[in-house]
Amino acid sequence: MAEDVVHMADVTKRFGRAPPALEAVSGTIGGGEITGLVGPDGAGKTTLIRLVTGLMRPDGGALTVLGFDTGREAPRIQAAIGYMPQRFGLYEDLSVQENLDLYADLRGLPMPERAGTFDELLGFTDLKRFTGRLAGQLSGGMKQKLGLACALLRKPRLLLLDEPGVGVDPISRRDLWAMVQNLTREGVGVVWSTAYLDEAEACDRVLLLERGRLMFTGPPAELTGRAAGRVFKLTGLAGRRRPLLARALQQAGVVDGVIQGEAIRLMLAPGAEPSALARGVASAGAIAPAEPRFEDAYVDMLGGGPGGRSKLAEAATARMADPAHPVIEARGLTKRFGDFTAADGITFTIPRGEIFGLLGPNGAGKSTTFKMLCGLLKPTAGEGRVAGFDLRRDTAAARGRLGYMAQKFSLYGDLSVAQNLAFFAGVYGLTGARKAGRIGLMTEIFDLGARRGQSARDLPLGLKQRLALACAVMHEPEALFLDEPTSGVDPITRREFWTHINGLVEKGVTVLVTTHFMDEAEYCDRISLIYRGRSIALGSPDELKASAANADTPTPTMEDAFVALVRRSDAAEAA
Amino acid sequence: MWTRLKALIVKELLAVLRDPRSRLILIGPPLVQLLVFSYAATLEVKNVDLLVLNRDAGPWGQELVQRLASTPTVGRLIRAAGPGELREGIDRQRAIAAVHIGQTFSRDIAAAHPADLQIILDGRRSNASQIVAGYLNQIVAGLAADIAAGRPTQGGAVAVAARNWFNPNLEFQWFMVPNLVAAIALLIGLVVTALSIARERELGTFDQLMVSPLRTHEILIGKTIPPMLIGTFHITVYILAAVFVFGVPLRGSLVLLYGSAVFYLLAVVGIGLFISALAATQQQAILGAFLFLVPAMLLSGFATPIENMPAWLQPVTAVSPLRYFLVIVKGVFLKDLPAAEVVRNTVPLMAIALVALSAAGWLFRRRLE
């Protein structure tokens, strides 16, 4: 292993009067390996990267990069590193080649070297065919590759990648990973920041950040080791698995549990007896040990999951299942923007009390489909119905029956928690005692009482998530539309969120969720895999995984299934 | 519907009032405008420095110099020793105007010949020097009248006594402050409205509104009323300031003023909403607002009379709501404008409001496709 390239000693950074963005972070980043900078949004990942680049100075502590002090010798550091910011840092109105030329100028790459370097990088990133295309018209994955190429124009000794995996399809993500791994063989130190724990697991070492504090540093396996022998999978379950999970989480000795397709994954407290637990949860079914993952250990370190009870669901009135009438229907939904087809003949039906997932990378068409169904976009062809209504044409009353939670929790940041709740209650026509009652209930269930007067903008991410859900379900909708509901939040908040959703679904609420998060797909009853505007596969998570199984990967993950299905679709198209 | 609308209006007002930056927009520019326009940007010429070269030895030359010196608008009277000094004084901008009294001035008057007087003005400051020329003409005319009066045999001299109606002392602020009542409502109304939808679009809360049971027209009404309330507040503050701080007489009916103000604000907010519906980001919205604001101000007769504009440009002024409301505000304040005139100027405001709001509604719906 090469020597360390970054040394941090008690690095602290504050912005204004807010709690510190980074507090006394100490550690090292090694050369020749991939260091994962892991944590939910707002943990301090980007701040740390910007400190390392010398773009900002720490308020306290010492930070040296490649032997240079970031405060005094920032220009020397910047000449020797490559940095890819979160939003690519590309000029969208320039072509691929023009972007490369521009960055070559900025980085002072000598003219004679250019042809060779461009050729190598374009080959490396597989962008040779697209040199004339505008950067703004590339897919998310290609943009990331071009961003990487620009950062590599002068071979850096340290490469800083800020969330390169966001919005990228799994295939491109694997390509990117392979490229970066190649670089580490040449001794380059790579920092890969991410909120995805599966990416963290693949890194050589991780720095786990939470709210500006370093929670763990070392090889991911070292953290994962603490969950060894305590992770089990309950399979062959009879009946609905969501109430079973809720029951399992109420058992003493169960630290954490999630739904994984048809199975339930449980983490037990040290010394708990698995078979006794299994009997307590379900009469039928088998329990078998499973491979622990980074996420299990992380949750364990945070003190376990939030439990299985959803006060929200307990307070909800049950709706009768009525299989004859689907709650959400998409019939040949098609949307064209000019000559670009964003969604092409998407068809599915969702019966009451089901969670349906639209899975796919950014730009594949899942958001377009989603927006057509909830009435935000007018389909070019086809039809979408919710609870029997066409939301484009029917009355506002029909819209009162659905709840909507957008990406990044679109709350009104300037309004206080109480004012946000009052606004959404009013907009959904709640008045008088019912309004007061529902607001009181939401405040109590989501434990927002102490923050009633605080501006929504200043809430920590987890509480924003809770408030957004409270606003979306205030009026007891029968269908819930969730657009990337848990991207960037920590695993505890995500579990808490899904506990509520699972509970509501058991009460007969129907859920449509978009995600590019493979783990989240496991919570769904059925999934439609959206790729290049078309639904290339539809089925339960287990069915999709089974269809991708082969001799090499007998038990594929959701991501493996995704990659296999996309490859199959590409091959069918080429044929 | 009222529940939803009320929730939206309350939210809009809270969103503006709870954000420190928005609060600053509501308080800062109006205050600055009031101070700048009322005190600094005056169109009056006061404290004029004058150069005088008196080469006349007789009494009339001396009399004219005395009269110039005692004029309240003249600050310093610099006596020049020769023509060279006169030239240099204007050149170096020591004075805006110079008066050259020739050697034969008194003699010509005594001989009842036409007496010549040379006035040199600094053409670089054309506006101010024109006004100074006016002052000087008045003084000289006064002198001429007295000379004529002193010779009753000649007779026929006419004494002109100018009276400025509606603003007898030509107080500049009587003209400016009522103008500001209209201008500030335009500025703030336009900016606040233009930002409202664009901000929601940028933050992603707009989709949240669209999937709620709010209907399109309810959203438009909910976005129209809060800026109108804010505009009414500003108008009221400025009217109070005009009457109690600047002592501008309020001769006409407040009911007429507020009645027409409703349509004025409706027109302004309609244009703001149109810009907001067009813009994808807050930055575009602000740029759009100023793209409309600056020509609307210049073409309104706010600073320069519309009658002075070229004929082809004058019809363009018809689209500026400020133009009509300026007539109303100044009229109501200074001369008790009759109701019929107020209505005549309110009708175009209604038309602008109708067109702008319909266009905003149409664009708003279209952008959803």
pLDDT in tens, A325-384: 788 888 888 988 887 888 888 999 998 889 999 988 777 788 889 888 888 888 888 888
Mean pLDDT, chain A, as a whole number?
85
- A492: pLDDT strictly greater than 90: no
A225-308 CATH: 3.30.70
Flag if A427 and B6 touch (Cβ within 8 Å).
no
Confidence of residue B157 (pLDDT cuts 50, 70, 90): very low
B9: which chain A residues are within 8 Å (Cβ-Cβ)?
none
- CB contact residues (below 8 A), chain A span 457-496, against chain B: 481
More confident call, B113 vs A116? A116
Confidence of residue B153 (pLDDT cuts 50, 70, 90): very low
Flag if A376 and B11 touch (Cβ within 8 Å).
no
- A517: pLDDT strictly greater than 80: no
Q: Which two tokens stand for residue A197?
A: 């724990």
User: From the CA of B266, how many Å to the nearest CA of chain A?
Assistant: 24
What per-residue confidence (pLDDT) applies to B172?
67
Confidence of residue B152 (pLDDT cuts 50, 70, 90): very low
Q: Does A426 touch chain B (CB under 8 A)?
A: yes
Q: Which two tokens stand for residue A379?
A: 């389909």
- A219: pLDDT strictly greater than 70: yes
Name B353's Cβ contacts closer than 8 Å, sequence gap at least 6. Answer: B263, B266, B267, B270, B321
A453: which chain B residues are within 8 Å (Cβ-Cβ)?
none
**Rounded average pLDDT over A255-271:** 85
Query: What is d(CA B19, CA B12) in angstroms, rounded to the nearest whole number?
Result: 11
CATH 3.40.1710.10 residue ranges of chain B are 48-149
Nearest one of A87, A44, A61, A88 to A6, comparing CA atoms: A61
CATH topology of domain B48-149: abc type-2 transporter like fold (3.40.1710)
Nearest chain B residue to A375 by CA: give it.
B211
Among the partner residues A376, A427, A455, nearest to B4 by beta-carbon distance = A427
**Rounded average pLDDT over B311-339:** 86
What's the DSSP call for residue B349? H
Confidence of residue A511 (pLDDT cuts 50, 70, 90): very high
What per-residue confidence (pLDDT) applies to B42?
60
Query: What is d(CA A290, CA A265) in angstroms, rounded to the nearest whole number?
Result: 8
Angle ∠(B202,B203,B204) on CA atoms, nearest 5: 95
**Rounded average pLDDT over A74-99:** 85
Name B89's Cβ contacts closer than 8 Å, sequence gap at least 6. Answer: B51, B78, B80, B95, B98
- A394: pLDDT strictly greater than 70: no
- B213: pLDDT strictly greater than 90: no
Confidence of residue A513 (pLDDT cuts 50, 70, 90): very high
What per-residue confidence (pLDDT) applies to B232?
92
Flag if B214 and A396 touch (Cβ within 8 Å).
yes
What's the distance, Cα to Cα, between the start and end of chain A in Å? 45
Q: Are A333 and A373 spatial neighbours (Cβ–Cβ below 8 Å)?
A: yes
**Rounded average pLDDT over B183-191:** 87
What's the DSSP call for residue A538? E
Q: How is A546-565 classified by DSSP, letter by letter?
A: HHT--SS-SS--HHHHHHHH
Query: What is d(CA A442, CA A458) in angstroms, rounded to the nearest whole number?
Result: 19
Angle ∠(A502,A506,A508) on CA atoms, nearest 5: 120
Confidence of residue B263 (pLDDT cuts 50, 70, 90): very high
Flag if B203 and A410 touch (Cβ within 8 Å).
yes
Q: Can you give the residue ranges of every domain in chain A? A: 4-218, 225-308
What per-residue confidence (pLDDT) applies to B167?
66
Q: Does A377 touch chain B (CB under 8 A)?
A: yes
Confidence of residue B155 (pLDDT cuts 50, 70, 90): very low
Global pTM exceeds 0.80: no
What per-residue confidence (pLDDT) applies to B169?
62
- The per-residue b/e assignment along A469-504, b for 16 or more CB within 10 angstroms, e otherwise, is bbbbbbbbbbbbbbbbbbbbbbbbbbbbbbbbbbbb
Nearest chain A residue to B17 by CA: give it.
A414
**Rounded average pLDDT over B42-63:** 79
Q: Are A89 and A147 spatial neighbours (Cβ–Cβ below 8 Å)?
A: yes
What per-residue confidence (pLDDT) applies to A173?
83
**Rounded average pLDDT over A133-143:** 79
Query: What is d(CA A86, CA A222) in angstroms, rounded to the nearest whole number?
Result: 28
What per-residue confidence (pLDDT) applies to B50?
85
Equal CATH topology for A4-218 and A225-308: no
Among the partner residues B6, B19, B215, nearest to A414 by beta-carbon distance = B19
pLDDT in tens, B83-100: 888 888 888 888 888 888
Its CATH class, for the domain covering A4-218, is alpha beta
Nearest chain B residue to A420 by CA: give it.
B11
User: From the CA of A388, how many Å to the nearest CA of chain B?
Assistant: 16
A371: which chain B residues are within 8 Å (Cβ-Cβ)?
207
Beta bridge partners of B11: none
Flag if A396 and B8 touch (Cβ within 8 Å).
no
pLDDT in tens, A527-549: 999 888 889 889 988 888 888 88
Q: Which two tokens stand for residue B231?
A: 């505009």
**Rounded average pLDDT over A463-484:** 89
Query: What is d(CA A561, CA B226) in angstroms, rounded to the nearest whole number?
Result: 52
Percent of chain B whose predicted confidence (pLDDT) is above 70:
91
User: From the CA of B306, how many Å to the nearest CA of chain A?
Assistant: 43
What per-residue confidence (pLDDT) applies to B271?
93
Among the partner residues A399, A414, A431, nearest to B212 by beta-carbon distance = A399
Strands A328-337 and A381-386: antiparallel
**Rounded average pLDDT over A404-430:** 87
Does the model's ipTM exceed the 0.85 cut? no
